[in-house]
Amino acid sequence: MRAMPVPQKDGPRANRDIRGVRDVQLIDDTGQNRGVMPFFDAMRIAEDAGLDLVEISPNATPPVCKILDYGKYRFLEQKKASEARKKQKTVEVKEVKLRPGIDDHDYDVKMKAMRGFFEEGNKVKVTLRFRGREMAHQDLGLKVLDRVKADVSEIAKVEMEPNFEGRQVVMVMAPR
């Protein structure tokens, strides 16, 4: 019969979970470095203070342990992680669909929408679709895309040059 393996907990080891070390570098609850001492002495000091011995830097030799309230420490770590998640911005790819014979007003409306997307920090995928006999005049479509590039050149850069995918041309632009 084998003993059940100890389940791995997330986060740093604390108190009796710290195994396989004889000596530790101890930092007490006031933040002062107490130096290298035997693990059991450090454990006794933590128990006398009514706090936990938490392994802060397990890869150091000897490992660095700190005396603190483990529950409060875990709470603060979770709070920091949630703040970091709140601040991170996901970049979305917005799509703007055009046609080769687009009218000036329609074009202006699309450009206004694109500028809004760039100001929000999103990428824009410009899709120009050809229908029927428009495939015979691909140069008209490429002129529209060149016009788009020129109009947003100061606020965006071309990330993927225009390339044909069947009956449509796709170009991806990102904010500067």
Tokens encoding 30: 């006031």
CATH superfamily assigned to domain 93-175: Translation initiation factor 3 (IF-3), C-terminal domain (3.30.110.10)
> For the purposes of burial, counting CB atoms within 10 Å of the CB of 159, is it exposed (0-12), middle (13-18) or buried (19 or more)?
middle
For the ranges 40-44, 86-90, 123-127, the maximum mean pLDDT occurs at: 123-127
pLDDT value at position 144? 93
pLDDT value at position 4? 66
pLDDT value at position 5? 66
For the ranges 12-16, 84-88, 103-107, the maximum mean pLDDT occurs at: 103-107
User: For residue 53, what are the β-bridge partners?
Assistant: 67
Q: In what order do the strands lie in the sheet with 52-57?
A: 33-38, 23-27, 64-68, 52-57
Residue 122: is its pLDDT beyond 80? yes
CATH of domain 15-86: 3.10.20.80
pLDDT value at position 12? 80
Every domain of the chain and the residues it spans:
15-86, 93-175
Tokens encoding 16: 């009796």
pLDDT tier at 20 (50, 70, 90 boundaries)?
confident
pLDDT value at position 79? 93
Helix residue ranges per DSSP H, the chain:
39-49, 70-87, 104-119, 138-151
Residue 62, preceding bond cis, omega within 30 degrees? yes
User: For residue 150, what are the β-bridge partners?
Assistant: none
